Amino acid sequence: MTDQVDLVPLGFFPTPIDNWENLGRELGISLSAKRDDLSGLGGGGNKIRKLQYFLAEAKAEKATILITAGAAQSNHVRQTAAVARKHGMRSLALLRGQLPPNPSGNLLLDELLGAELEFHDRDDFNAIVVDLMLERKAELEASGERAYVIPIGGSSPLGALGYVECAKELREQFDAQRQRHPDYIVVAMGSGGTFAGLVAGCARYLPNTQVLGIVITTASFASRECAASLANDTARLAGVDRRWDAEDLLLNYDHIGPEYGIASKEGNAAIRKVAEAEGVFLDPTYTGKVFAGLIASLGATIPAGSDVIFVHTGGSPALFARG
C-alpha cells in the first residue's frame, strides 16, 4: 500500500484538472489536462511526485548529496536539483552530451540551482550510466559524503508510486465533482515510471480507464517488456493485485520523431495548437509529441466522443533551448 511507504511532501497537490473545452470541441472528444506542470518546486513537473519517495529514503540514510542522470535538457535533473537545495543537500547530475557555450533552458536553471554537472558525450551513455553513478557514489563516500542515487527519470517501482497516488488523486477529484471517470489517460512514455505508476494506479482506482503511453525515446527502457516489468513491480509494491504482459499495454511508438530530445514537426504543430487554443505551453521533448500522438490516435485507438485526460508532465523550460 502506498500509504505504508514513507514520503516527504514536496509539491502543490492535488494539481488541477484543466478543462480544455476549445480543443475538445475541435477534436470531437471531452478533453481535460491533469496539470502536473503546476506541481510547484523547481518549476514543477511530473518528477516531483516521484522525488517525494526518493527524498524520504535519502533523508533516512542521512544523505548529503543526491546523484542522478539524464539528457542535457533533463526536467528530472532540474527538479532533483531543486529538491536537493530545498532540503539542504547538494546534487550531482551525469548528463549525456556536451556543455554548450551558452547554457539555456533546463541547463541554465540547473546552474542557478548550483547543481554539479558532469557531461558524457558517448553513444552508450544509457548502458553505462548506472555504473557511472555508483562509481561517483563510491568516490564521494570515500571523501566523507553520504550519497543517494536516483535512477534516470526517477523511474523505479519506488518512484512510480507517485503516479499510483496520482491515479488515486484523479479518482478523488472526479468523485468530488461527481464527474464520470475518463475513458483514456494519455501520457508520455520515456523512462517509464509515470506510465507504469498510472497503469498500476488505474487498475485500483480507475478500473474502467485505459492508459495510453506515447513513447518518446528508442532507449531500451521504453520497450514493452521493460514497461510491463516496471508496471508489475510497481503494482506489487503498491499492493495492487494485477499483472500485465507486454502485449497488454497500450503503447504507441509512432511519435518519437527524429530521436529523443529532438523536436518533431508534428510535435511543434501540437505545441502551437495547444498554446493558441488553451493558452498553455507544452515542450518539444515530451508533451508536444504526446499531444501529437493523442491527435493521431483519435478515431482509431480513441473513439470519437471519448472522455480523455492528457497528463501535462511539464518541461516548458526546454522551449527556451530551441535553436
Instruction: List domains and CATH numbers for the chain.
Output: 2-45+156-321 (3.40.50.1100), 47-154 (3.40.50.1100)
What is the Cα–Cα distance from 193 to 187, expressed in whole angstroms? 11
pLDDT given at position 139 = 98
State the catalytic residue, choosing from 32, 74, 155, 306.
Answer: 74
What is the Cα–Cα distance from 107 to 238, expressed in whole angstroms? 34
**DSSP H or E segment with residue 214:** strand 210-215
Please, what sign has the CA dihedral across residues 287, 290, 296, 300?
A: negative
pLDDT given at position 323 = 53
pLDDT given at position 2 = 75
Residue with cell 479518482: 171
Q: Indicate if 91 belongs to the active site.
A: no
What is the Cα–Cα distance from 180 to 248, expressed in whole angstroms? 24
Say what the pTM is: 0.96
- Contacts with 186 (C-beta within 8 Å, 6 or more apart), sequence order: 212, 214, 290, 293, 294, 297, 302, 308, 309, 310, 311
Dump pLDDT digits (tens) for 295-307: 999 999 999 999 9
What is the Cα–Cα distance from 234 to 228, expressed in whole angstroms? 10
Dump pLDDT digits (tens) for 28-38: 999 999 999 99
Residue with cell 475518463: 182
Closest to 122 in 3D by CA, of 114, 113, 137, 132? 132
DSSP state of 131: H
Task: Provide φ and ψ at 199, rounded to 5°.
Answer: -60, -50
Tell me the C-alpha to C-alpha distance, in Å, between residue 129 and each of 92, 121, 152, 222.
13, 12, 9, 16
pLDDT given at position 109 = 97
End-to-end CA distance of the chain: 45
Q: Go through 31-56 and write b for each residue having 16 or more CB atoms within 10 A of its CB, e for each that does not.
A: bbbbbbbbbbbbbbbbbbbbbbbbbb
Q: Which residues of the chain have pLDDT under 50?
A: none
pLDDT given at position 179 = 87
Q: Which amino acid is at 60?
A: A
- Contacts with 279 (C-beta within 8 Å, 6 or more apart), sequence order: none
